[in-house]
A = this chain, B = another copy of it.
Amino acid sequence: MSAHLTIAATDGAARTGILSTRKGDIRTPAFMPVGTAGTVKAMYTDQVRETGADIILGNTYHLMLRPGAERIARLGGLHRFMNWQRPILTDSGGFQVMSLAQLRKMTEEGVAFQSHIDGSKHLLTPERSMEIQNFLGSDIVMVLDECTPHPATHDEARQSMELSMRWARRSRDHHRNLPNHGALFGIVQGSVYADVRQRSVATLEETGFDGYAVGGLAVGEGQEIMFRVLEETVPHMTSEKARYLMGVGKPDDIVGAVARGIDMFDCVLPTRSGRTGQAFTRYGPVNIRNARHAEDPRPLDENSDCPASRDYSRAYLHHLVKSNEILGAMLMTWHNLHYYQQLMADIRGAIAEGRFTAFQKRFAEDQTRGDIDPL
């Protein structure tokens, strides 16, 4: 199965269209909420859908450790397990092995590690990553790669990229022999070096994938460098396939990356921030824990069609979050995911109508207003 991209309109480097998968269409540019361990935290799946999400992301690392990929397969796959019947993209597990697992040892073969949950030993190879994602029933599978740490020297970046390219080919070779496999995306690496990035793009396209991700960004390099790398990388990628910027990001990161030709995003920010009390709004972020919200009767966004944004006062959200009430995480996450999906819908509309530059300008002005005025 492949993932077919149809571009409906472009505006500069920005583009909007439909990515078709076996589980349904994804409107691009798309934001994928992260469903780490088989759940978009603090959200029912029908709510996730109602915010406008066409696809969610599942984390291979978390799911392989608990409840286990084979167990999910026996229970009918991840879609049935978590009650989400639309497309699912799964990551390869590699990124989180490097950030969460214990006693990691990387070789040409793959990465050996111990679970952060129970200390059990695992070996994640390109082949095993493909098997796990296949057991999960993933509609868009990601190759196993090494997310090059930042900063890296040119030589380190090149060697790391080359390993990722060998793993990408092994991933492809194994994936295409698995039953009922989903689409497979390659991942461009190369740190901040244009020549390494471009070499990675060429190598991946030689192998051939259903879509291409840009990995190894949003790892501490800063927005300016990230945008520069995109400018040096994306124009070398085929315009025929979807382009996915992994792990990004803040609203302004997304708008800037769309302007540089990106179609897909994922990030824990709206869900994680929801649990810690940060709300994203048209007028910038709001820290709902701040005492100035304690008696503010206004909702986060009275014009929203999301109940979480419209039907609860900032005073109530402040109370819930300060009291560590589960409903605080539920409402703040719901609001944030709705904000992100509304942002993506606004982006798509602006591109379709050829006014993306004006949209960008207005977006930046609104964001720097620093939230609406206090009472």
- Which residues of A are interface residues toward B (Cβ below 8 A)? 37-39, 41-44, 66-67, 71, 74-76, 81-83, 275, 294-295, 297, 307, 311-313, 315-316, 318-320, 322-323, 325-327, 329-330
B81 touches A315 (CB 8 A): yes
Which chain B positions have C-beta within 8 A of A71? 294-295, 315
Question: Is B325 a contact partner of A39 (Cβ separation < 8 A)?
Answer: yes
State whether B81 touches A325 (Cβ < 8 A): no
Partner of A42, one of B38, B294, B326: B326
Q: Within 8 Å CB of A39, what residues of B?
A: 320, 325-327
A319 close to B38 (CB less than 8 A): yes
Q: How far is the CA of A43 from the CA of B329 in the complex (A)?
A: 11
Interchain nearest-CB distance for A59 vs B (Å): 12
Nearest B residue to A40 via CB reads B327
Contact indicator A327/B42 (Cβ below 8 Å): yes
Look across to chain B and name the residue whose beta carbon is closest to the beta carbon of A80: B313
- A38 and B71 CA atoms in complex are apart in Å by 39
**Could you tell me the distance between the alpha carbons of A319 and B35 in the complex, rounded to whole angstroms?**
14
Whether the pair B37, A323 counts as a contact (CB closer than 8 A) is yes
User: What's the Cα separation between A320 and B322 when bound, in Å?
Assistant: 24
A72 to chain B, nearest CB (A): 9
CA distance A300 to B66 in the complex (A): 21
Specify which chain B residues have a CB less than 8 angstroms from the CB of A41 in the assembled complex.
325-327
Distance, CA A39 to CA B74, complexed state (A): 38
Closest to A67 in B: B319
Q: Which residues of B contact A297 (CB under 8 A)?
A: 75-76
Taking CB atoms, residues of chain B closer than 8 Å to A307 are: 44
Name the CB-closest residue of B to A43.
Answer: B327
Chain B's closest residue to A319 (CB) is B67
The 10 A-B pairs at the shortest CB distance, nearest first, are namely: A42-B326, A39-B327, A67-B319, A39-B325, A37-B323, A75-B315, A83-B311, A81-B316, A41-B326, A75-B297
Cβ–Cβ contact B43 & A313, under 8 A: no
- Tell me the smallest distance from the CB of A299 to a CB of chain B, in Å: 10
Q: Which residues of B contact A42 (CB under 8 A)?
A: 326-327, 330
State how many angstroms separate the Cβ of A145 from the closest Cβ of chain B: 26
CA distance A307 to B45 in the complex (A): 11
In the bound complex, what is the Cα–Cα distance between A82 and B317 (angstroms)?
10
Expressed in whole angstroms, the minimum distance between the Cβ of A75 and any Cβ of chain B is 5
Note all chain B residues with C-beta closer than 8 A to A323: 37, 66
Residue contacts A-B, CB under 8 angstroms, 11 given? A37-B325, A39-B326, A42-B330, A44-B307, A66-B319, A71-B295, A75-B295, A81-B313, A81-B316, A83-B316, A326-B329
Query: Other than the known A67-B315, A82-B316, what 20 A-B pairs have Cβ atoms closer than 8 Å?
Result: A37-B323, A39-B320, A41-B325, A41-B326, A41-B327, A43-B327, A44-B307, A44-B330, A66-B322, A67-B294, A71-B295, A75-B295, A75-B315, A75-B316, A76-B297, A81-B313, A83-B311, A83-B312, A275-B326, A326-B326
- Of all chain B residues, the one with the shortest Cβ separation from A62 is B323
Contacts of A67 in B (CB 8 A): 294, 315, 318-319
Kindly state the separation between the CA atoms of A10 and B43 in the bound complex, as whole angstroms.
43
Contacts of A44 in B (CB 8 A): 307, 327, 330
Q: Are A316 and B38 in contact (CB under 8 A)?
A: yes
- In the complex the two chains form, what is the Cα distance from A316 to B67 in whole Å? 9
